[in-house]
Amino acid sequence: MFQRIDEKVEVAGVYKAATFVPKKIKWGKKVLLIEKVTLISDIRDGAIRKRMYSLLCGGELYRVVFNRDTEIWILEEIWTE
Amino acid sequence: MDRVIFHVDINSYFATMLQQENPMLRGKVVGVIKGVGRSCIIASSNEAKKLGIKTGCVVKDARAIAPDIILVPANFDLMLSATRKLKSLFETLSPSVDIFSLDEVFLDLSGCEKLFESHILYAKFIQQRIKETLGEWVQCNVGISHNKLLAKMAGEVGEKGSVSVIDANNLDQVLSTIGFKDVCGVGWGLSKKLGFLGVFHPYEINLLDDQTLLQYFGPHWAVELRKVGRGEETHLFTHEKKVEHAQSVGRTITGYTLCDDEDQIRRVLLNLLEEATHKLRKMDLVGRKVGVSLHGHDRNWGDYATLKYWVRHTDEIFDILYHGMYKKWQRDFSVIKFGVWIGDCKPARDIPMSWLQNWNKREKVYGVIDRVNDRFGNFTLMPASLLGGPIIKPEVTGYLGDRVYLGL
Protein backbone atom coordinates (compact mmCIF):
# COMPACT_ATOMS: atom_id res chain seq x y z
CA MET A 1 0.00 0.00 0.00
CA PHE A 2 1.05 3.59 -0.52
CA GLN A 3 2.04 5.41 2.63
CA ARG A 4 1.43 9.14 2.64
CA ILE A 5 4.55 11.19 3.42
CA ASP A 6 4.11 14.75 2.03
CA GLU A 7 7.56 16.00 2.99
CA LYS A 8 9.95 18.33 1.21
CA VAL A 9 12.95 16.64 -0.37
CA GLU A 10 15.89 17.66 -2.50
CA VAL A 11 16.48 15.99 -5.82
CA ALA A 12 19.65 15.90 -7.88
CA GLY A 13 19.72 14.77 -11.48
CA VAL A 14 21.09 15.25 -14.94
CA TYR A 15 19.70 16.60 -18.16
CA LYS A 16 19.52 13.99 -20.89
CA ALA A 17 18.12 14.93 -24.30
CA ALA A 18 16.73 18.15 -22.79
CA THR A 19 14.84 16.20 -20.15
CA PHE A 20 15.56 16.17 -16.45
CA VAL A 21 16.42 12.71 -15.14
CA PRO A 22 16.46 12.45 -11.33
CA LYS A 23 19.37 10.47 -9.88
CA LYS A 24 19.36 11.06 -6.10
CA ILE A 25 16.83 12.08 -3.45
CA LYS A 26 17.88 13.70 -0.20
CA TRP A 27 15.15 13.03 2.34
CA GLY A 28 16.12 14.38 5.77
CA LYS A 29 19.55 12.93 6.35
CA LYS A 30 19.02 9.99 4.01
CA VAL A 31 20.34 10.02 0.46
CA LEU A 32 18.53 7.60 -1.84
CA LEU A 33 20.00 6.51 -5.15
CA ILE A 34 17.41 6.26 -7.89
CA GLU A 35 17.62 3.00 -9.79
CA LYS A 36 14.89 3.66 -12.31
CA VAL A 37 12.29 6.22 -13.31
CA THR A 38 9.28 4.01 -13.99
CA LEU A 39 6.79 6.70 -14.98
CA ILE A 40 6.52 10.46 -15.41
CA SER A 41 3.07 12.03 -15.11
CA ASP A 42 2.18 15.62 -15.82
CA ILE A 43 -0.47 16.87 -13.45
CA ARG A 44 -2.45 20.08 -13.56
CA ASP A 45 -4.22 21.62 -10.63
CA GLY A 46 -5.72 24.77 -11.97
CA ALA A 47 -2.87 26.49 -13.75
CA ILE A 48 -0.30 24.93 -11.43
CA ARG A 49 1.68 22.36 -13.35
CA LYS A 50 3.30 19.55 -11.49
CA ARG A 51 5.38 16.62 -12.67
CA MET A 52 5.14 13.39 -10.73
CA TYR A 53 8.12 11.08 -10.94
CA SER A 54 7.63 7.46 -9.94
CA LEU A 55 11.05 6.34 -8.78
CA LEU A 56 12.51 3.00 -7.77
CA CYS A 57 15.05 3.26 -4.95
CA GLY A 58 16.28 0.28 -2.97
CA GLY A 59 13.37 -1.89 -4.01
CA GLU A 60 10.77 0.68 -2.97
CA LEU A 61 8.64 2.96 -5.08
CA TYR A 62 8.64 6.69 -4.35
CA ARG A 63 6.20 9.20 -5.79
CA VAL A 64 8.01 12.52 -5.90
CA VAL A 65 6.24 15.60 -7.23
CA PHE A 66 7.95 18.67 -8.64
CA ASN A 67 5.85 21.82 -8.51
CA ARG A 68 6.88 23.66 -11.65
CA ASP A 69 5.59 26.93 -10.24
CA THR A 70 7.33 26.99 -6.87
CA GLU A 71 10.14 24.63 -7.95
CA ILE A 72 9.68 22.63 -4.76
CA TRP A 73 10.03 18.85 -4.61
CA ILE A 74 7.63 16.92 -2.39
CA LEU A 75 7.90 13.24 -1.52
CA GLU A 76 4.23 12.38 -1.59
CA GLU A 77 4.00 8.64 -1.15
CA ILE A 78 6.06 5.47 -0.73
CA TRP A 79 4.87 2.01 -1.73
CA THR A 80 5.52 -0.46 1.03
CA GLU A 81 4.67 -4.14 0.76
CA MET B 1 -9.49 -2.06 -48.60
CA ASP B 2 -10.83 1.39 -49.44
CA ARG B 3 -10.69 2.69 -45.87
CA VAL B 4 -7.98 1.71 -43.42
CA ILE B 5 -9.00 1.95 -39.78
CA PHE B 6 -6.77 1.00 -36.85
CA HIS B 7 -8.32 0.45 -33.43
CA VAL B 8 -5.80 0.70 -30.60
CA ASP B 9 -6.85 -0.56 -27.18
CA ILE B 10 -4.48 -0.53 -24.20
CA ASN B 11 -4.84 -3.81 -22.30
CA SER B 12 -6.25 -3.41 -18.76
CA TYR B 13 -5.30 0.27 -18.85
CA PHE B 14 -5.77 1.34 -15.21
CA ALA B 15 -4.07 -1.74 -13.76
CA THR B 16 -1.35 -1.88 -16.42
CA MET B 17 -0.34 1.74 -15.81
CA LEU B 18 -0.08 1.07 -12.08
CA GLN B 19 2.02 -2.02 -12.84
CA GLN B 20 4.18 0.09 -15.14
CA GLU B 21 4.67 2.59 -12.35
CA ASN B 22 5.30 -0.02 -9.70
CA PRO B 23 7.35 -3.06 -10.81
CA MET B 24 6.46 -4.84 -7.54
CA LEU B 25 2.92 -5.24 -8.93
CA ARG B 26 3.94 -6.77 -12.24
CA GLY B 27 2.81 -10.32 -12.88
CA LYS B 28 0.59 -10.18 -9.80
CA VAL B 29 -3.16 -10.25 -9.30
CA VAL B 30 -4.03 -6.56 -8.96
CA GLY B 31 -7.42 -4.99 -8.38
CA VAL B 32 -7.81 -1.24 -8.77
CA ILE B 33 -10.19 0.40 -6.33
CA LYS B 34 -11.33 4.00 -6.21
CA GLY B 35 -9.83 4.65 -2.80
CA VAL B 36 -8.73 2.91 0.38
CA GLY B 37 -11.72 1.22 2.00
CA ARG B 38 -13.72 0.91 -1.23
CA SER B 39 -15.39 -2.41 -1.92
CA CYS B 40 -15.71 -2.39 -5.70
CA ILE B 41 -12.97 -3.28 -8.17
CA ILE B 42 -13.04 -0.71 -10.96
CA ALA B 43 -10.28 -2.34 -13.02
CA SER B 44 -8.21 -5.47 -12.80
CA SER B 45 -4.86 -6.61 -14.15
CA ASN B 46 -4.53 -9.21 -16.91
CA GLU B 47 -3.49 -11.71 -14.24
CA ALA B 48 -6.68 -11.01 -12.27
CA LYS B 49 -8.84 -11.18 -15.38
CA LYS B 50 -7.50 -14.65 -16.15
CA LEU B 51 -8.86 -15.77 -12.77
CA GLY B 52 -12.26 -14.23 -13.51
CA ILE B 53 -11.85 -11.04 -11.46
CA LYS B 54 -13.44 -8.45 -13.68
CA THR B 55 -14.49 -4.80 -13.47
CA GLY B 56 -17.37 -4.40 -11.04
CA CYS B 57 -16.35 -7.40 -8.93
CA VAL B 58 -16.80 -6.94 -5.18
CA VAL B 59 -13.55 -7.06 -3.16
CA LYS B 60 -14.95 -9.83 -0.96
CA ASP B 61 -15.66 -12.03 -4.00
CA ALA B 62 -12.27 -11.20 -5.51
CA ARG B 63 -10.54 -12.24 -2.26
CA ALA B 64 -12.44 -15.53 -2.35
CA ILE B 65 -10.98 -16.20 -5.81
CA ALA B 66 -7.50 -14.81 -5.12
CA PRO B 67 -6.73 -14.29 -1.41
CA ASP B 68 -3.41 -12.63 -2.31
CA ILE B 69 -4.99 -9.99 -4.55
CA ILE B 70 -3.27 -6.60 -4.19
CA LEU B 71 -5.71 -3.69 -4.01
CA VAL B 72 -4.35 -0.41 -5.30
CA PRO B 73 -6.20 2.92 -5.23
CA ALA B 74 -6.63 4.48 -8.68
CA ASN B 75 -4.62 7.56 -9.48
CA PHE B 76 -6.77 9.56 -11.89
CA ASP B 77 -4.10 12.23 -12.46
CA LEU B 78 -1.70 9.55 -13.61
CA MET B 79 -4.30 8.11 -16.01
CA LEU B 80 -5.18 11.49 -17.47
CA SER B 81 -1.50 12.30 -17.97
CA ALA B 82 -0.98 8.98 -19.77
CA THR B 83 -4.02 9.61 -22.00
CA ARG B 84 -2.73 13.08 -22.91
CA LYS B 85 0.63 11.54 -23.85
CA LEU B 86 -1.14 8.91 -25.94
CA LYS B 87 -3.20 11.55 -27.70
CA SER B 88 -0.08 13.52 -28.61
CA LEU B 89 1.57 10.32 -29.85
CA PHE B 90 -1.42 9.29 -31.97
CA GLU B 91 -1.53 12.72 -33.58
CA THR B 92 1.96 12.05 -34.92
CA LEU B 93 0.91 8.63 -36.25
CA SER B 94 -2.31 9.43 -38.12
CA PRO B 95 -3.96 12.46 -39.72
CA SER B 96 -7.31 11.47 -38.21
CA VAL B 97 -7.51 10.54 -34.53
CA ASP B 98 -10.78 9.67 -32.78
CA ILE B 99 -10.34 9.20 -29.02
CA PHE B 100 -13.10 6.68 -28.27
CA SER B 101 -12.48 6.36 -24.53
CA LEU B 102 -9.69 6.87 -22.00
CA ASP B 103 -7.75 3.90 -23.41
CA GLU B 104 -9.15 3.37 -26.90
CA VAL B 105 -8.59 5.23 -30.11
CA PHE B 106 -9.46 4.91 -33.78
CA LEU B 107 -6.82 5.97 -36.30
CA ASP B 108 -8.02 6.54 -39.85
CA LEU B 109 -5.04 5.78 -42.07
CA SER B 110 -6.92 5.74 -45.37
CA GLY B 111 -4.73 7.12 -48.13
CA CYS B 112 -1.57 6.82 -46.01
CA GLU B 113 -0.65 3.31 -47.20
CA LYS B 114 2.44 4.53 -49.02
CA LEU B 115 3.89 5.83 -45.78
CA PHE B 116 4.38 2.36 -44.36
CA GLU B 117 5.36 -1.03 -45.68
CA SER B 118 2.36 -3.00 -44.47
CA HIS B 119 -0.55 -2.60 -42.08
CA ILE B 120 0.85 -5.22 -39.72
CA LEU B 121 4.28 -3.59 -39.59
CA TYR B 122 2.76 -0.19 -38.92
CA ALA B 123 0.61 -1.67 -36.15
CA LYS B 124 3.73 -3.16 -34.58
CA PHE B 125 5.44 0.21 -34.92
CA ILE B 126 2.50 1.79 -33.05
CA GLN B 127 2.80 -0.82 -30.30
CA GLN B 128 6.51 -0.05 -30.01
CA ARG B 129 5.91 3.71 -29.85
CA ILE B 130 3.33 3.20 -27.09
CA LYS B 131 5.90 1.22 -25.08
CA GLU B 132 8.46 4.00 -25.60
CA THR B 133 5.91 6.62 -24.52
CA LEU B 134 4.28 4.95 -21.52
CA GLY B 135 6.68 2.19 -20.55
CA GLU B 136 7.81 -1.32 -21.34
CA TRP B 137 4.99 -3.04 -19.41
CA VAL B 138 2.23 -1.41 -21.46
CA GLN B 139 0.67 -3.67 -24.08
CA CYS B 140 -2.01 -2.88 -26.58
CA ASN B 141 -4.16 -4.69 -29.09
CA VAL B 142 -4.38 -3.28 -32.56
CA GLY B 143 -7.34 -4.22 -34.75
CA ILE B 144 -7.29 -3.36 -38.44
CA SER B 145 -10.18 -3.32 -40.87
CA HIS B 146 -12.07 -1.15 -43.32
CA ASN B 147 -14.51 0.26 -40.77
CA LYS B 148 -14.58 1.09 -37.07
CA LEU B 149 -16.99 -1.71 -36.05
CA LEU B 150 -14.75 -4.38 -37.56
CA ALA B 151 -11.48 -2.74 -36.43
CA LYS B 152 -12.74 -2.77 -32.85
CA MET B 153 -14.01 -6.32 -33.26
CA ALA B 154 -10.58 -7.38 -34.56
CA GLY B 155 -8.95 -5.86 -31.49
CA GLU B 156 -11.38 -7.67 -29.19
CA VAL B 157 -10.83 -11.14 -30.65
CA GLY B 158 -7.03 -10.95 -30.72
CA GLU B 159 -4.74 -12.19 -27.96
CA LYS B 160 -3.37 -9.57 -25.53
CA GLY B 161 -0.72 -7.47 -27.26
CA SER B 162 -1.57 -8.80 -30.72
CA VAL B 163 -2.35 -7.31 -34.11
CA SER B 164 -5.47 -8.69 -35.84
CA VAL B 165 -6.95 -7.97 -39.22
CA ILE B 166 -10.49 -8.46 -40.47
CA ASP B 167 -10.74 -8.33 -44.26
CA ALA B 168 -12.84 -9.96 -46.97
CA ASN B 169 -11.00 -13.27 -46.44
CA ASN B 170 -12.00 -13.80 -42.81
CA LEU B 171 -15.00 -11.50 -42.37
CA ASP B 172 -17.65 -14.25 -42.50
CA GLN B 173 -15.60 -16.52 -40.29
CA VAL B 174 -15.21 -13.82 -37.60
CA LEU B 175 -18.88 -12.81 -37.79
CA SER B 176 -19.99 -16.42 -37.37
CA THR B 177 -17.76 -17.15 -34.36
CA ILE B 178 -17.58 -13.95 -32.32
CA GLY B 179 -19.98 -13.52 -29.40
CA PHE B 180 -22.10 -10.41 -28.99
CA LYS B 181 -20.15 -9.40 -25.88
CA ASP B 182 -17.31 -8.48 -28.25
CA VAL B 183 -19.54 -6.49 -30.61
CA CYS B 184 -19.53 -2.82 -29.70
CA GLY B 185 -23.04 -1.40 -29.37
CA VAL B 186 -24.84 -4.69 -28.82
CA GLY B 187 -25.51 -4.74 -25.11
CA TRP B 188 -26.59 -7.46 -22.75
CA GLY B 189 -30.34 -6.88 -23.22
CA LEU B 190 -30.14 -6.91 -26.99
CA SER B 191 -27.99 -10.04 -27.12
CA LYS B 192 -30.37 -11.82 -24.74
CA LYS B 193 -33.28 -10.96 -27.03
CA LEU B 194 -31.31 -12.21 -30.03
CA GLY B 195 -30.59 -15.40 -28.11
CA PHE B 196 -34.34 -16.04 -27.80
CA LEU B 197 -34.47 -16.04 -31.60
CA GLY B 198 -31.57 -18.51 -31.76
CA VAL B 199 -29.04 -15.85 -32.80
CA PHE B 200 -25.76 -16.04 -30.90
CA HIS B 201 -23.30 -14.70 -33.48
CA PRO B 202 -23.57 -11.62 -35.73
CA TYR B 203 -23.60 -13.67 -38.94
CA GLU B 204 -26.81 -15.44 -37.84
CA ILE B 205 -28.66 -12.11 -37.97
CA ASN B 206 -28.60 -12.54 -41.75
CA LEU B 207 -30.89 -15.56 -41.32
CA LEU B 208 -33.64 -13.34 -39.88
CA ASP B 209 -35.88 -11.53 -42.35
CA ASP B 210 -36.53 -7.78 -42.17
CA GLN B 211 -40.03 -8.30 -40.84
CA THR B 212 -38.82 -10.36 -37.87
CA LEU B 213 -36.12 -7.80 -37.02
CA LEU B 214 -38.68 -5.00 -37.21
CA GLN B 215 -41.18 -6.90 -35.10
CA TYR B 216 -38.75 -7.79 -32.31
CA PHE B 217 -36.34 -4.86 -32.30
CA GLY B 218 -38.21 -1.85 -33.71
CA PRO B 219 -37.29 0.36 -36.67
CA HIS B 220 -33.96 1.64 -35.29
CA TRP B 221 -32.40 -1.62 -34.16
CA ALA B 222 -33.78 -3.56 -37.15
CA VAL B 223 -31.55 -1.43 -39.38
CA GLU B 224 -28.60 -1.39 -36.99
CA LEU B 225 -28.63 -5.14 -36.40
CA ARG B 226 -28.76 -5.76 -40.13
CA LYS B 227 -25.56 -3.69 -40.39
CA VAL B 228 -23.96 -5.71 -37.56
CA GLY B 229 -24.82 -8.94 -39.40
CA ARG B 230 -23.05 -7.64 -42.50
CA GLY B 231 -20.12 -6.15 -40.59
CA GLU B 232 -21.02 -2.59 -41.53
CA GLU B 233 -20.42 0.46 -39.37
CA THR B 234 -23.34 1.17 -37.02
CA HIS B 235 -24.70 4.51 -35.84
CA LEU B 236 -22.43 4.35 -32.78
CA PHE B 237 -19.43 5.02 -35.00
CA THR B 238 -20.93 7.08 -37.81
CA HIS B 239 -22.92 9.35 -35.51
CA GLU B 240 -21.21 12.73 -35.31
CA LYS B 241 -19.94 12.87 -31.74
CA LYS B 242 -18.55 16.35 -31.93
CA VAL B 243 -21.32 18.38 -30.39
CA GLU B 244 -20.73 22.08 -30.10
CA HIS B 245 -21.22 22.06 -26.37
CA ALA B 246 -22.17 19.76 -23.50
CA GLN B 247 -25.91 19.20 -23.12
CA SER B 248 -25.70 18.67 -19.39
CA VAL B 249 -23.11 18.76 -16.64
CA GLY B 250 -23.39 16.62 -13.55
CA ARG B 251 -21.42 14.93 -10.83
CA THR B 252 -22.13 11.86 -8.73
CA ILE B 253 -20.24 10.11 -5.98
CA THR B 254 -20.75 6.94 -4.01
CA GLY B 255 -19.89 7.18 -0.34
CA TYR B 256 -18.15 4.58 1.81
CA THR B 257 -21.11 3.88 4.06
CA LEU B 258 -24.78 4.77 4.25
CA CYS B 259 -25.15 8.34 5.45
CA ASP B 260 -27.96 9.80 7.51
CA ASP B 261 -26.16 12.89 8.73
CA GLU B 262 -27.93 16.04 7.57
CA ASP B 263 -24.78 18.18 7.62
CA GLN B 264 -22.81 15.56 5.74
CA ILE B 265 -25.46 15.24 3.00
CA ARG B 266 -25.63 19.03 2.63
CA ARG B 267 -21.85 19.24 2.43
CA VAL B 268 -21.55 16.51 -0.22
CA LEU B 269 -24.28 18.06 -2.39
CA LEU B 270 -22.64 21.48 -2.19
CA ASN B 271 -19.20 20.02 -2.96
CA LEU B 272 -20.53 18.18 -6.02
CA LEU B 273 -22.43 21.24 -7.20
CA GLU B 274 -19.34 23.41 -6.76
CA GLU B 275 -17.49 21.16 -9.20
CA ALA B 276 -20.38 20.87 -11.67
CA THR B 277 -21.02 24.62 -11.81
CA HIS B 278 -17.31 25.35 -12.16
CA LYS B 279 -17.24 23.06 -15.21
CA LEU B 280 -20.39 24.73 -16.53
CA ARG B 281 -18.85 28.18 -16.27
CA LYS B 282 -15.51 27.03 -17.61
CA MET B 283 -17.27 25.83 -20.75
CA ASP B 284 -19.15 29.16 -20.74
CA LEU B 285 -22.55 27.47 -20.54
CA VAL B 286 -25.79 28.18 -18.76
CA GLY B 287 -28.49 25.66 -17.87
CA ARG B 288 -32.23 25.70 -17.40
CA LYS B 289 -32.86 22.32 -15.80
CA VAL B 290 -31.44 21.37 -12.42
CA GLY B 291 -31.74 18.12 -10.55
CA VAL B 292 -30.62 16.11 -7.56
CA SER B 293 -30.59 12.36 -6.97
CA LEU B 294 -29.94 10.28 -3.87
CA HIS B 295 -29.57 6.51 -3.73
CA GLY B 296 -29.86 4.32 -0.67
CA HIS B 297 -29.25 0.61 -0.21
CA ASP B 298 -32.31 -0.41 -2.23
CA ARG B 299 -34.24 2.82 -2.70
CA ASN B 300 -33.66 6.06 -4.44
CA TRP B 301 -35.10 9.53 -4.70
CA GLY B 302 -34.64 12.34 -7.13
CA ASP B 303 -36.18 15.58 -8.21
CA TYR B 304 -35.63 18.14 -10.93
CA ALA B 305 -37.04 21.44 -12.11
CA THR B 306 -37.20 23.22 -15.43
CA LEU B 307 -36.64 26.86 -14.71
CA LYS B 308 -37.94 29.85 -16.61
CA TYR B 309 -34.53 31.44 -16.48
CA TRP B 310 -30.91 30.45 -17.00
CA VAL B 311 -28.57 29.58 -14.15
CA ARG B 312 -24.90 28.84 -13.60
CA HIS B 313 -23.99 30.23 -10.19
CA THR B 314 -23.41 27.75 -7.38
CA ASP B 315 -25.34 29.51 -4.62
CA GLU B 316 -28.39 30.09 -6.79
CA ILE B 317 -28.59 26.47 -7.97
CA PHE B 318 -27.81 25.12 -4.51
CA ASP B 319 -30.70 27.10 -3.12
CA ILE B 320 -33.06 25.44 -5.62
CA LEU B 321 -31.64 21.94 -5.14
CA TYR B 322 -31.23 21.99 -1.41
CA HIS B 323 -33.99 24.21 -0.09
CA GLY B 324 -36.42 23.78 -2.97
CA MET B 325 -36.03 20.03 -3.51
CA TYR B 326 -33.97 18.15 -0.92
CA LYS B 327 -35.69 19.76 2.07
CA LYS B 328 -39.03 18.50 0.77
CA TRP B 329 -37.78 14.92 0.69
CA GLN B 330 -39.10 12.80 3.54
CA ARG B 331 -35.63 11.42 4.33
CA ASP B 332 -36.94 7.90 4.63
CA PHE B 333 -33.67 6.13 3.82
CA SER B 334 -29.94 6.57 4.37
CA VAL B 335 -27.91 7.71 1.39
CA ILE B 336 -24.87 6.12 -0.23
CA LYS B 337 -24.84 7.72 -3.69
CA PHE B 338 -25.26 11.44 -4.31
CA GLY B 339 -25.76 13.25 -7.59
CA VAL B 340 -26.45 16.74 -8.92
CA TRP B 341 -26.85 17.92 -12.50
CA ILE B 342 -27.60 20.93 -14.62
CA GLY B 343 -29.25 20.25 -17.97
CA ASP B 344 -30.66 21.88 -21.07
CA CYS B 345 -27.36 23.72 -21.41
CA LYS B 346 -26.64 26.48 -23.87
CA PRO B 347 -23.64 28.72 -24.52
CA ALA B 348 -23.90 31.86 -22.39
CA ARG B 349 -23.35 33.99 -25.51
CA ASP B 350 -26.61 32.64 -27.00
CA ILE B 351 -28.87 33.93 -24.25
CA PRO B 352 -30.00 37.52 -23.90
CA MET B 353 -27.79 39.55 -21.62
CA SER B 354 -29.21 39.84 -18.13
CA TRP B 355 -30.09 43.27 -16.78
CA LEU B 356 -30.66 41.91 -13.29
CA GLN B 357 -28.24 43.41 -10.84
CA ASN B 358 -27.96 40.21 -8.83
CA TRP B 359 -27.00 38.12 -11.84
CA ASN B 360 -24.32 40.56 -12.90
CA LYS B 361 -22.96 40.81 -9.37
CA ARG B 362 -22.77 37.00 -9.11
CA GLU B 363 -21.20 36.80 -12.54
CA LYS B 364 -18.42 39.11 -11.36
CA VAL B 365 -17.90 37.27 -8.06
CA TYR B 366 -17.85 33.81 -9.68
CA GLY B 367 -15.64 35.13 -12.46
CA VAL B 368 -13.05 36.09 -9.84
CA ILE B 369 -13.46 32.81 -7.90
CA ASP B 370 -12.97 30.81 -11.11
CA ARG B 371 -9.90 32.80 -12.09
CA VAL B 372 -8.33 32.23 -8.68
CA ASN B 373 -9.14 28.50 -8.77
CA ASP B 374 -7.90 28.17 -12.34
CA ARG B 375 -4.67 29.83 -11.33
CA PHE B 376 -4.02 28.28 -7.92
CA GLY B 377 -5.88 24.97 -8.14
CA ASN B 378 -9.42 23.67 -7.71
CA PHE B 379 -11.13 24.56 -4.42
CA THR B 380 -8.57 27.21 -3.46
CA LEU B 381 -11.62 29.45 -3.01
CA MET B 382 -14.76 27.67 -1.93
CA PRO B 383 -17.85 28.15 0.22
CA ALA B 384 -16.98 28.47 3.90
CA SER B 385 -19.25 25.55 4.78
CA LEU B 386 -16.87 23.23 2.91
CA LEU B 387 -13.91 24.20 5.07
CA GLY B 388 -12.54 21.84 7.67
CA GLY B 389 -13.43 18.57 5.98
CA PRO B 390 -12.38 16.37 3.10
CA ILE B 391 -12.97 17.81 -0.35
CA ILE B 392 -14.26 15.69 -3.22
CA LYS B 393 -12.11 16.68 -6.18
CA PRO B 394 -12.77 16.17 -9.91
CA GLU B 395 -12.04 12.72 -11.34
CA VAL B 396 -11.63 11.40 -14.83
CA THR B 397 -13.96 8.68 -16.09
CA GLY B 398 -13.16 5.81 -18.42
CA TYR B 399 -15.55 6.88 -21.14
CA LEU B 400 -14.22 10.43 -21.01
CA GLY B 401 -17.54 12.18 -20.56
CA ASP B 402 -15.47 15.21 -19.54
CA ARG B 403 -13.50 15.40 -22.78
CA VAL B 404 -14.76 18.91 -23.65
CA TYR B 405 -13.85 20.17 -20.18
CA LEU B 406 -10.50 18.37 -20.19
CA GLY B 407 -9.70 19.64 -23.66
CA LEU B 408 -9.18 16.14 -25.09
Strand partners, A64: A53, A75
| Least confident segment among A71-80, B33-42, B70-79, B211-220 | B33-42
User: Residue A80 has what pLDDT?
Assistant: 81
Best residue of A2, A4, A41 to probe chain B, by most B CBs closer than 10 Å? A41
Q: How far apart are CA B383 and CA B289, in angstroms?
A: 23
* Subunit contact B84:A45, Cβ cutoff 8 A: no
List pLDDT tens digits, range B8-27: 999 999 999 999 999 999 99
Burial annotation B115-142 (CB, 10 A radius, 16+ → b, else e) = eeeebeebbeebbeebeeebbebbbbbb
The set of residues, in sequence order, having a beta carbon less than 8 Å from that of B143 and lying 6+ positions away, is B6, B7, B9, B150, B151, B152, B153, B154, B155, B156, B158, B164, B165, B166
Which residues, including other chains, have CB under 8 Å from residue B37's CB and lie 6 or more apart? B256
Residue in chain B closest to A70 (alpha carbons) equals B376
Q: How far is CA B142 from the centre of its chain?
A: 20
Q: Compute the average pLDDT of residues A61-75.
A: 94
> Sorting pLDDT into bands at 50, 70 and 90, what band is B187?
confident
- Residue B377 has a pLDDT of 81
Task: With both helix axes pointing from N to C terminus, report the angle between B210-230 and B188-196 in degrees, rounded to the nearest 10.
Answer: 120
How much is the ipTM here? 0.94
Highest mean pLDDT, choosing among A53-57, B116-120, B329-333:
A53-57
> What is the average pLDDT score of chain B?
89
Instruction: Measure A14 CA to nearest chain B CA, in Å.
Output: 20
Contact B281, B312 (CB under 8 A): yes
Residue B323: pLDDT over 60 = yes
Tens digits of residue pLDDT in B254-312: 888 889 999 999 999 999 999 999 999 988 999 999 999 999 988 999 999 999 999 99
CA pair distance B6, B126, nearest whole angstrom: 10
pLDDT value at B355 more than 80: no
Residues 34-63 on A with a CB inside 8 Å of B are 36, 38-39, 41-43, 45-48, 52, 54, 56, 59, 61
